[in-house]
Amino acid sequence: MQFRPVKEQLEILMRGVTDIVPQDELEKKLQKSYETGKPLRIKMGVDPTAPDVHFGHTVVMRKLRQFQDLGHTVVLIVGDYTAQIGDPSGRNKARPRLTHEQVLENAKEYQEQFFKVVRRDQVEIHYNGEWFSKLPFSKVTELMGQFTVAQMLEREDFHNRYTANTPISLHEFMYPMMQGYDSVAIQSDVELGGTDQKFNVLRGRDLQIFEGMEPQIGLFMPILLGTDGKVKMSKSIGNYVGLNEPADVMYHKIYSLSDNIVENWYELLTNIPLDEVKQMMADIAAGKMNPNDAKHRLAIDIVTQYYGAEAAEAAAAKEREIHSGNAIPSDALECSVDAGSYGALDLLVNIKAFASKGEARRMVQNGGVKIGGEKLADPQAQIEIKGGDQLVVQVGKRKFFKVNF
Amino acid sequence: MQFRPVKEQLEILMRGVTDIVPQDELEKKLQKSYETGKPLRIKMGVDPTAPDVHFGHTVVMRKLRQFQDLGHTVVLIVGDYTAQIGDPSGRNKARPRLTHEQVLENAKEYQEQFFKVVRRDQVEIHYNGEWFSKLPFSKVTELMGQFTVAQMLEREDFHNRYTANTPISLHEFMYPMMQGYDSVAIQSDVELGGTDQKFNVLRGRDLQIFEGMEPQIGLFMPILLGTDGKVKMSKSIGNYVGLNEPADVMYHKIYSLSDNIVENWYELLTNIPLDEVKQMMADIAAGKMNPNDAKHRLAIDIVTQYYGAEAAEAAAAKEREIHSGNAIPSDALECSVDAGSYGALDLLVNIKAFASKGEARRMVQNGGVKIGGEKLADPQAQIEIKGGDQLVVQVGKRKFFKVNF
């Protein structure tokens, strides 16, 4: 096949990249691929330990998509075997072990989300059980012999656990070997990963060299900060945007993004030319542009990627309606309560809007609670409800409850 | 089957034992075996990394034989898979890896020597490739998950290598798991080993418990000191007696034993009652017995075990003849030299009795060299030899060369 010139490819591929190891080999590989008409094999491994995909994961997926769009082949490795160990990278304790069934179930859900970013053509999908289930024990010992204990314990995560006397199970030391052997098995040219994957990706190079292959290149993407602009995006911290979230919720979360990372999100999550992005940032700094307009454009661009332009505009419109009190967002929590007469505070605790009546009272007194669109002024108010009714309860700016009776 | 009472068995089995872990369980196991008529399964693992067996190895083999004589079953595990890694116990660097063919060849030679001590009935022999060649990768990771890095690095040998920056390959960390899993595979009741095997044997207990089995007991024998009475018997140090050595050489080496370990050798290498041994030692201390008589009895007892009583007596007789200059020992080195005329010193260097003429001259001047039974007085002597002749050259007390022309 005919590829675009290497220089053009590099311009696209280098966007947002943190590090390439080794630097000079990517160009050589692209040149060879250009000359021979043979696509590069771009590896990405995933351990579907949890099936929820958020924007943090799409940074690498989008890079895969760029390779695809340039004619290269994406090789997704679903680590059904590695997931049973759990990548110890960056962890301070051993992961819980998953059963093979859990992993396969997660993998299915994962792929549905993966293909929201990556095209379904030019993809190979492999489960690493394909080779590990058949790997003879003697090969395992041979591969393990390519690693040293010191090499493992020099890793910051293992080092910290070892010095803190937090147990490291020996099977965790097998993880880098397994990830590395994946590269041997699929003969990857490039492996993509977050910067926390550097150790594992370089071990893949080692094993490919050991097996007499041309070694892969590691291409590392930054870790995306969450909506708070402070720490790595993470579901457990709550600063995430999930790929499965409704368009209006997605729009809202991006529109509420912390100012300091708007530029970074543009770079990592859109294809808008970086010159334009720089200009916007300069305009904002000069007071010539409202930061919200930059966030609106970012949100429209990203929501469009997942739901199309029309849905993105609708999401923006709904955000404005919610602000005016004329709509409730899709992520309102639904709950059910028996029909009857309730003290307002009892009701709020009952639907788990607050942990205690004291907490609820303070928020009501601060004017932060609306029931049925009306501000609740009196904490002692009695609320009567008939079966079949629905009541919308709003706490603060954007926490909504749809209470069914 | 009907066993001897537990107390009698223990009396025999405790001879020379350094440690039993845990102490109380051996008696319980023997009691159960006595009641049910079911023999215990006594495991010994061997990695035939080198096929030469010496007395140091027989300390454990003799204990196996005692178990056999009491009706129990010996399970010899030939570590064809473990040998390819090499036991890191007590080592300060990784062992060279052997091929499977080398290991099988060594194993054959090893067994020939093993059966000089252990009976051929009541033995099961297993190669651990039986189970390791079929062990699925997922089971390997599960088993490795039962060990921690800290547990490994607390071992003195690994600890020393780690702190000295001597590389430890990860496959060496698999060794204790493998030895432990051997115990699971053959359902051992007791594992025998030298004291340096304590860590590995206890890991076997762990894995048996993990697999829901009644765990084995570790029975540890001391490390035998070599003929010099100073350090562990070892072929490379030269203080060893090999099982394949001729009767007269075996006799000679035992008869020349360092005084300080005669009692220990009686305990570990013979069945002579310990009371009798103690009495001999007391007699020697009191000047009532010549230490050589104790060594003679020891040598006769041991040589008899391998060659029979008649050969043992013949070996003793030959030792006396050699001392009187009337015989040459079986381990005389044979070599060939062209017929002709030689300067004495040239000849001595030529047959590799000495590294240089200077060394040879000093020994001749000290009266330490005999040629053809005559002391060589003149370093300048010229020696004429016809084809077909044989000349015996003696250096010092017991180094003999049979030189063929």
Residue B6 near residue B40 (C-beta atoms within 8 A): no
Q: How far apart are CA B55 and CA B318, in angstroms?
A: 22
Interchain proximity A138–B169, CB inside 8 Å: no
Q: Which residue has the higher pLDDT, B353 or B130?
A: B130
User: What's the pLDDT score for residue B116?
Assistant: 95
Question: Could you give all domains of chain B from N- to C-terminal order, each with its CATH number?
Answer: 6-221 (3.40.50.620), 247-323 (1.10.240.10), 333-404 (3.10.290.10)
The one-letter code for the residue type at A263 is: E
- Give the nearest partner residue to A145 out of B142, B165, B169, using CB atoms: B169
- Which residue of A lies nearest to B80 if distances are taken between CA atoms? A138
Q: In terms of Cα–Cα distance, which of A206, A167, A219, A263 is closest to A42?
A: A219
CB contact under 8 A, B170 and A158: no
Question: Cβ of A313: how many Cβ atoms within 10 Å?
Answer: 15
Which residue from B137, B140, B167 is facing A150, i.e. has the nearest CB?
A: B167
Answer yes or no: do A169 and B144 touch at CB < 8 A: yes
Q: Which residues of A touch B165 (CB under 8 A)?
A: 150
A321-328 average pLDDT score: 80
Answer yes or no: do A133 and B133 touch at CB < 8 A: no
For residue B395, the model assigns a pLDDT of: 86
Q: Assess whether pLDDT exceeds 90 at residue A393.
A: no
Rounded distance between C-alpha atoms, residue B288 and residue B282, angstroms? 8
**Minimal Cβ distance to B173: which of A133, A140, A173:** A173
Tell me, what's the pLDDT at A99? 81
- Cβ A173–B170 below 8 Å, yes or no? yes
Per residue in A61-83, pLDDT (tens digit) is 999 999 999 999 999 999 998 88
Chain B: residue whose CA lies nearest to A95: B145
Nearest to B162 among A144, A150, A174 (CB): A150
CA A372 – CA B255 distance, rounded (Å)? 106
State whether the Cα torsion A220-A191-A245-A88 is positive or negative.
negative
Contact of B87 with B171, CB cutoff 8 Å: no
For the ranges A375-384, B18-27, B249-258, which has the lowest average pLDDT?
Answer: A375-384
Q: Measured in whole angstroms, how far is the alpha carbon of residue B311 from the centre of its chain?
A: 22
Instruction: From chain A, pick out residues whose CB is under 8 angstroms from the CB of B150.
Output: 162, 165, 167-168
Listed residue (B152, B197, B186) closest to B19, CA to CA: B197
Distance from CA of A132 to the nearest CA of B (A): 6
**Distance separating alpha carbons of residues A74 and A58, to the nearest angstrom:** 14
For B366-381, the pLDDT digits (tens) are 888 888 878 888 888 8
pLDDT digits (tens, 9 = 90+) for B16-71: 999 999 988 999 999 999 999 999 999 999 988 777 899 999 999 999 999 999 99
Name which of A225-234, B101-110, B186-195 the model is least confident about: B101-110
Give the pLDDT of residue A199.
93
Q: Does the beta-carbon distance from A168 to B148 stay under 8 Å?
A: yes
- Overall average pLDDT of the A104-114 stretch: 90
C-alpha distances out from residue B268 to A78, B57, B75, B90, B294, Å: 58, 11, 21, 22, 15
Report pLDDT for B381. Answer: 87
Contact yes or no for A148 and B171 at CB 8 A = no
Contact A173 B142 (CB under 8 A): no
**Paired tokens of A93:** 């304790």
Residue among A136, A162, A177 minimizing CB distance to B150 = A162
Residue B343 phi, psi dihedral angles, 5° rounding: -65, 140
State pLDDT tens for residues A183-218: 999 999 999 999 889 999 999 999 999 999 999 999
Nearest CA in chain B to A100: B138
DSSP A150-182: HHHHHSHHHHHHHHTT---BGGGGGHHHHHHHH
Give a three-class secondary structure readout of A28-42.
Answer: HHHHHHHHHCCCCEE
Task: List CB contacts (< 8 A) between B133 and chain A.
Answer: 136-138
- B64 and B42 Cβ atoms separated by less than 8 Å: yes
Preceding amide of A22 cis, omega within 30: yes
Selection from A45, A34, A106 nearest residue A75 by Cα: A45
Beta strands in B109-266 (DSSP E): 123-127, 190-194, 217-221
Quick check: A67 and A9 in contact, CB under 8 A?
Answer: no
Extended beta strands in A300-389, E state: 333-336, 340-343, 369-371, 374-375, 382-385
| Helix or strand holding residue B204 (H, E) | helix B198-210
In sequence order, the 6+-apart residues with CB closer than 8 A to the CB of B275 are none
To test the contact with chain B by mutation, choose from A82, A135, A137, A140 the residue with the greatest count of B C-beta atoms within 10 A, namely A137
For residue A235, say whether it is annotated as part of any ligand binding site. Answer: yes
Counting every residue written for chain A, the total comes to: 405
Torsion B231-B234-B239-B241 (CA) sign? positive
Q: Which amino acid is at B191?
A: E
